[in-house]
Amino acid sequence: MTNPLLSDWTTPFQLPPFDAISDDDFAPALEEALDRGRAAIRAIAESSEPPSFANTIEALERADEMLNRVAGVFYNLAGSTSNPAREALQRDFAPKLSAYSSEIVSNAALWSRIESVWEARDSLGLSDEQMRLLTLTRRNFVRSGAALDEAGKARLAEVKSRLAVLGTQFTQNLLADERDWSMELTEDDLTGLPDFVVDAARSAGAEKGASGPVVTLSRSLIVPFLQFSPRRDLRETAWRAWTSRGEMGGATDNRAIAAEILALREERAKLLGYDSFAAYKLEPEMAGTPAAVRDLLMQVWTPARAQAEADAQVLTDMMRADGINGPLEPWDWRYYSEKRRLAEHDLDEAELKPFFQLDAMIEAAFDCANRLFGLEFSPLDVPLYHPDARAWEVTREGQHVAVFIGDYFNRGSKRSGAWCSAFRQQQKLAGDIRPVVVNVCNFAKGDPCLLSYDDARTLFHEFGHALHQMLSDVTYESLSGTSVARDFVELPSQLYEHWLEVPEVLEKHALHAKTGAPMPVELRDRLLAARDFDMGFHTVEYVASALVDLDFHDGPAPADPMAAQAETLKRIGMPEAIVMRHATPHFAHVFAGDGYSSGYYSYMWSEVMDADAFEAFEEAGGAFDPETAEKLERHILSAGGSAEADELYTAFRGRMPGVEALLKGRGLDKVA
């Protein structure tokens, strides 16, 4: 029988034939894809033709076509619909893919050909995009050890293989803790909870086969439980479980894994000639150096901490009024902050939620993309990988642009968080290849599904990433879409969040789930007036995580990461009633892979730009100014990684921004 992963896909838009793929297909498909990749690399390296851009650099772009296809399907499914078979395959694939990557960068003949093209680059008549691809290809080889001696290459390959295994194990341990823990609630335990929290708890209980409602470690359920449950004992139990993911002891404990990862990263950096892993990792980013990152974070930390300490005193006074003595605890913060928001802004999550239906917010994201970029979205009736997923064809002026898949509901088989990925990326080298993009979220199911305002922001955020993928217009896949500096990649996503705050968008799409009435103007105004409410808390929990990440990698690797984490938090004066957004044992951004290691700061680096970029629209006359939207698409969304990030941003805005717009946007510009 033909393996559907290896055959031509005759499905609409050449989507993966999800209904024909079984887990048994992945291992043989991966082996075949690796064999094809090795043959392609061998043909390039052993070619008798003189090295050229076409037969070396472009040929490398084509070498992994089948591997990208197979891995694109597998890893998207493993993240969103995991099962024991897929988890076993992940453990098996990690060292194989790492070994394959090491084989390529260790190929001396291939490296020689790349160097020959590099040395002749000024005489080859290359376009700007071709020169960019050549530069990044060579840089990637150098940073992957191609210039090391044989002993160095061999050790680096061992280090990278072990890191791949550990990252997979970290992720699976975290998923297991999130999947396995739940807290059953009695009917009395539901007292004081809004209907949407009760409904979510009942739905979670039904999914787990429990006899009644439960609280799980899904953010979309546990956060509102912490906001609204008047039962301090239950809040503490839930909070402790949530913040203990990855450190519950036993087979899923991630603490030793984190320590080994940090030690291996330091060794990797030293092998390549860098003082620290942070110095290695940040070299190609916009920030460039650990010092630049630390400077930004501390500029924000100081006013954020001051605001959080002032807020903590207000919440403590509220707790005292309830007759509770002792310190304000982390499981108290969200509960009293929600009560404070109701008192100061007359905002109640239960009142707001009916105006943020999932389907209406999807339509709002689509409508903004239509007004800004002329995109149209038509539902597709095609087989997908899970009943919760749905798809749309994206067109512009009748021309196909992309397929967009949305997978919005939480389930036990899906890793936590929200992300944007692609089953296929845009490129032109092999024809006009249009992308297949997926947004994955973890919203609690409901009928209808109601989102918090933060949930709606998450939806817009991930759709901003999707636009970066869908509007990509480059020749080479290595440069397409989100293939940009890590501290630039969050610009399109965080910028898109701003359109959720545009009054006319809320007026059109924030319609009551039962009555269909638009959100009252006075409620909308109160919502927008409170947009920076509790920003001290949110900024502190984020910046603390970013500083811990930076400290982990900017110097010798700590033998005990938990002690090092505590040391950093003590040094910066972490408020006692706030914890890091992501403690080390569940800090998947940093330990599930190298993506955000030494790079968790990048959300804030990008926020400096997104605050400034939205001001460009406001200065031009409004959120939907067509000329500004065209410049945004031309210089950023369609450009991918075809130029350095600062060049792209300057082309759009005319200059680089300062931190002032960020502090203003977070309401921290006037904090003493």
Instruction: Name the residues annotated as catalytic.
Output: 462
Instruction: Identify whether the C-beta of residue 34 lies closer than 8 Å to the C-beta of residue 6.
Output: no
Nearest to 253 by CA among 586, 591, 589: 586
Residues 6+ apart with CB under 8 A from 357: 448, 449, 450, 451, 511, 513
State whether the Cα torsion 276-279-284-285 is positive or negative: positive
DSSP three-state, residue 452: coil
Strand order in the sheet with 376-380: 376-380, 390-396, 399-409, 436-443, 419-424
602 vs 287: CA distance, rounded Å: 9
Rounded to whole angstroms, how far apart are CA atoms 109 and 127?
A: 26
Q: Which two tokens stand for residue 99?
A: 């070994």
What lies within 8 Å, CB to CB, of 281 at 6+ separation is: 269, 553, 594, 597, 598, 599
Token pair belonging to 227: 């906001």
In angstroms, rounded to a whole number, what is the distance separating the alpha carbons of residues 608 and 629?
19
In DSSP notation, 133-190 reads HHHHHHHHHHHTTTTS-HHHHHHHHHHHHHHHHHHHHHHHHHHHHHHH-EEE--TGGG
Residue 295 has a CB neighbour count (10 Å cut-off) of: 12
- Check whether the bond before 448 is cis (ω within 30° of 0): yes
> Each residue of 565-598: b (16+ CB within 10 Å) or e?
beebbeebebbebbbbbbbbbbbbbbbbbbebbb
Q: Letter for the amino acid at 437? A: V
Q: Report which DSSP code applies to 450.
A: B
Q: Are 72 and 146 in contact (CB under 8 A)?
A: no
Number of other residues whose CB lies within 10 A of the CB of residue 447: 8
Phi, psi (5° rounding) for residue 330? -60, -30
Amino acid at 633: E
